Amino acid sequence: MKHLLTIAGSDSSGGAGIQADLKTFCALGTYGMSVITAITAQNTQGVDAVVELDKAMVKAQIDAIFSDITVDAVKIGMVSSSEIIREIKESLLHWQPSFIVVDPVMVSKSGHHLLQPEAKEALINDLLPIATIATPNIPEAEVILDRKITTLEEMEVAAKDIYKLGPKSVLVKGGHLSGDAVDVFYDGSTITKLTSLRIDKKNTHGTGCTLSSAIAAHLALQHDLITAIAKSKDYVTEGIKYGLSIGKGVGPLHHFHNLYNAED
């Protein structure tokens, strides 16, 4: 069994963050572990409060896991401050996991800022360069590159420009555009577009967290990057299709749609 680690924030409502990551690892037949960077009080309607963990506690969690258990792949999500980002970078440079998926989470789907403004540079300078793959959505790619991205062509140029910042590959996600849900992948030599039908459902709480942890799981399962992304995108698309009617706002996708039906 492959062992997966998520380094991210807790979502009290269970649809995104650490909770989505662990469900995804489990649904894909891997063993999930977590390093919590922050605790959020949130639900399907918004984020009410955020408390960041002390950087020493983040390091202690990472060291506790790596000193005892083989880690086959790591996914990094919400990291919030430059102090925590640098601690994670130092720890991972020490422990050297084979695959690191960096999901540069900045703003929640409900519009709450999850990355402190001062941490933007650290995210770009310290986390992107250690990534096997970085998975920004369009607003995140816009912040990283400091310009607007409104078309598929601009997504392609953005993927190439973010690649220059150091990650081994980049996936710019198209969930925020209209029409088909098209993600653009660049590995330093070839642009690949991955397209799925846009599901007209509001169950998109945690799609980004789920996609990045699914990519980490599929990489640990020895798939190549394109196959890992394609399989993960299929998993997310089906999860949205079978989305759960939970909460009054943007509900979660169904992480276990392969295992059981969840009709009301």
Distance CA 158, CA 139 (A): 11
Reduce the secondary structure of the chain to three states and give it as a string.
Answer: CCEEEEEEEEECCCCCHHHHHHHHHHHCCCEEEEEEEEEEEECCCCEEEEEECCHHHHHHHHHHHHCCCCCCEEEECCCCCHHHHHHHHHHHHHHCCCCEEECCCCECCCCCECCCHHHHHHHHHHHHHHCCEECCEHHHHHHHHCCCCCCHHHHHHHHHHHHCCCCCCEEEECCCCCCCEEEEEECCCCEEEEEECCCCCCCCECHHHHHHHHHHHHHHCCCCHHHHHHHHHHHHHHHHHCCCCCCCCCCECCCCCCCCCCCC
Of the residues 100, 124, 133, 236, which one makes contact with ligand ATP according to CB under 6 A: 236
The footprint of Mg ion (CB under 5 A) covers 208
The minimum distance between CB 137 and Mg ion, in angstroms, equals: 5
d(CA 85, CA 111): 22
Shortest approach of ligand ATP to residue 133 CB, angstroms? 13
Q: What would the 3-class secondary structure string for 85-96 be? A: HHHHHHHHHHHC
Q: Rounded to the nearest whole angstrom, what is the least distance from the CB of residue 169 to ligand ATP in the complex? A: 15
- Smallest gap from residue 264 Cβ to Mg ion (A): 27
Nearer to Mg ion, 9 or 208 (CB): 208
- Per CB under 6 A, which region of 6-14, 40-48, 141-149, 193-201 contacts ligand ATP? 193-201
**Site map (CB under 6 A) of ligand ATP, residues 42-81, x = contact:** ----------------------------------------
Helix axes 207-220, 17-27, angle to 10 degrees: 40
- 174 versus 208: smaller Cβ distance to Mg ion: 208
Nearest distance from residue 105's CB to Mg ion, in Å? 5
Structure tokens at 98: 């084979």
Which member of 6, 207, 239, 243 is catalytic? Answer: 207
Q: Which residue among the candidates 208, 239, 243, 251 is catalytic per the annotation?
A: 208
> For this structure, is 206 an active site residue?
yes
Tell me, residue by residue from 100 to 129, as one string, x for binding to ligand ATP by CB under 6 A and - for no binding: ---------x--------------------
Q: What track of x and - describes contact with ligand ATP for positions 196 through 225 (by CB under 6 A)?
A: x-xx----x-xxxx-x--------------
Residue of 4, 5, 7, 16 that binds ligand ATP (CB under 6 A): 16
String marking each residue 151-190 x if it binds ligand ATP according to CB under 6 A:
----------------------xxxx----x-x-------
Q: Which residue ranges make up the site for ligand ATP (CB under 6 A)?
A: 16, 109, 137, 173-176, 181, 183, 196, 198-199, 204, 206-209, 211, 233, 236-237, 240
